Amino acid sequence: MVGLANKTYGQLVIHPAPIVVLNFPILLFALIPGIPDWFMHTISHYFALFMFWLENILWLGIFLAYESALIPFVYFKNVFVVAWATQGLFMTVWNTVAWIFAGPIILFFLVLRDVWYMFAILTMHNGCREFAGL
């Protein structure tokens, strides 16, 4: 816990074993004698942002792939839901045909919106807001 409290060198102890190899640039700067603490703190801050986005860009890609894989299931399920939930023969046919043609476009934009919302939530991270100047 003592190592994590240090803002300057805390990044050297926070990452698990395979990822610790990426700490090599911080280690090189730490070995330079007489380097100012504010410079090490800045390098540590930007390295923390790099590690945050390295991990979360991977999760955004997985999230996009997962939601894209669900599109066919949602599309065909909604064909039956629209046909079942609409009253009247004309409106049932109209809404079902409208969903058949417009459904893929709507679902594509809903997937992009969900990924954008997840990205927006990730940018609420304190270090990211400071980095973006917000």
Q: Which tens digits make up the pLDDT trace of 85-119?
A: 888 999 999 999 999 999 999 999 999 999 999 99
Residue-range domain boundaries for the chain: 2-132
Residue type, 5: A
Q: Which tens digits make up the pLDDT trace of 44-96?
A: 888 888 888 888 898 999 999 999 999 999 999 999 999 898 889 999 999 99
Separation of alpha carbons 105 and 125, rounded Å: 32
The two three-digit tokens of residue 71, written as one number: 């599109």
Give Cα 19 to chain centroid, integer Å.
19
Q: Which tens digits make up the pLDDT trace of 8-27?
A: 666 676 766 777 777 777 77
Separation of alpha carbons 81 and 60, rounded Å: 30
The mean of the pLDDT values for the chain is 83
